[in-house]
């Protein structure tokens, strides 16, 4: 049964150096009844900055930044990154998510996160570079698609009307061709290579 009492608003501290942006953010927060502007000495649930997190105590930090600052802010421990032109609705959703312990990346910055992850993988490659193309048989591609959906060998066998032993053989062949450590790693590598989409 739901409680009829409204929940306490999330206390927001705006620690934005740009005066125009700070005024805009304060107006967006003030317009949202689920949020409350806190004083500088109050214990904020979420702190909004326009530069990377500093010593922000227990507050989750959302950084409003440009594309160059987004990855740096997340690497520094920000709970979220938003563009300077973010809407009140997006800001409210990001604050709610950050207050709940989630990390928020605005749509404008998602591609940067993927690029940074790929660059890190390339730097950390440890000599296990993935081949530029993988020669999978049509049956192996079917098995790979089912693997990406989390299917077990028995489920793959039922779906493709083959024996579990044959399914296991195809999975092993896929893992070997992708140079993966196991089924999960094989799916991750296949996703990076564009062989499967989830």
**Would you give the distance in Å from CA 182 to the centre of its chain?**
23
Q: Widest CA span of the chain, in angstroms? A: 67
Residues 122 and 118: their CA atoms lie apart, in Å, by 6
Number of C-alpha atoms within 13 angstroms, CB side, residue 184? Answer: 0
Using alpha carbons, list the distances in angstroms from residue 96 to 12, 34, 91, 142, 151. 11, 9, 9, 40, 34
**Higher-pLDDT residue of 105, 198:** 105
Give the three-state DSSP class for 47. Answer: strand
Q: Using CA atoms, how far apart are residues 196 and 198, in angstroms rounded to an integer?
A: 7
User: 14 pairs with which residues across the strands?
Assistant: 48
Angle between helices 164-178 and 153-160 (to 10 degrees): 110
For the entire predicted model, the pTM comes to 0.55
pLDDT of residue 198: 65
Instruction: Reduce the DSSP state of residue 35 to 3 states and report it.
Output: strand
Which tens digits make up the pLDDT trace of 9-39?
Answer: 888 888 889 999 999 999 999 999 888 888 6
pLDDT tens for residues 134-184? 788 899 999 999 988 888 888 899 999 998 888 888 988 998 888 888 888
The sign one gets for the Cα dihedral 69, 71, 75, 79 is: positive
CA 92, 53, 108, 83 torsion-angle sign? positive
Q: What fold characterizes domain 10-119?
A: Rossmann fold (3.40.50)
CATH for 138-192, options being 3.40.50.800, 1.10.10.10, 3.40.50.2300, 3.50.50.60: 1.10.10.10
Which tens digits make up the pLDDT trace of 78-118? 888 999 999 999 999 999 888 888 888 888 887 776 665 55
Instruction: Give the start-to-end residue ranges of the domains of the chain.
Output: 10-119, 138-192
Same fold, 10-119 and 138-192: no
Which residues are within 8 A (CB) of 60 and not within 5 positions of it... i.e. 6 or more apart?
A: 45, 46, 47, 79, 80, 98, 99, 101
User: What is the distance between the alpha carbons of residues 67 and 43, in angstroms, rounded to a whole number?
Assistant: 29
Helix (H) or strand (E) holding 154: helix 153-160
């Amino acid at each position: 049964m739901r409680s009829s009492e409204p929940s306490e608003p999330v206390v927001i501290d705006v620690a934005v150096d740009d005066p125009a942006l700070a005024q805009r953010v304060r107006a967006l927060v003030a317009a949202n009844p689920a949020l409350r502007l806190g004083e500088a000495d109050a214990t904020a649930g979420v702190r909004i900055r326009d530069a990377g997190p500093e010593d922000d105590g227990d507050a989750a930090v959302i950084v409003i930044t440009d594309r160059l600052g987004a990855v740096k802010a997340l690497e520094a421990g920000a709970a979220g990154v938003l563009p300077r032109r973010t809407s009140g609705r997006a800001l409210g959703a990001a604050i709610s998510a950050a207050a709940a312990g989630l990390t928020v990346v605005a749509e404008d910055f998602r591609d940067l996160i993927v690029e940074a992850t790929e660059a890190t993988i390339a730097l950390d490659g440890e000599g296990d570079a993935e081949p530029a193309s993988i020669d999978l048989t049509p049956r192996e591609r079917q098995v790979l698609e089912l693997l990406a959906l989390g299917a077990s060998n028995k489920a793959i066998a039922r779906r493709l009307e083959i024996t579990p032993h044959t399914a296991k053989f195809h999975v092993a062949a896929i893992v070997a061709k992708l140079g993966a450590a196991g089924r999960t790693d094989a799916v991750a590598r296949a996703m990076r290579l564009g062989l499967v989409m989830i």
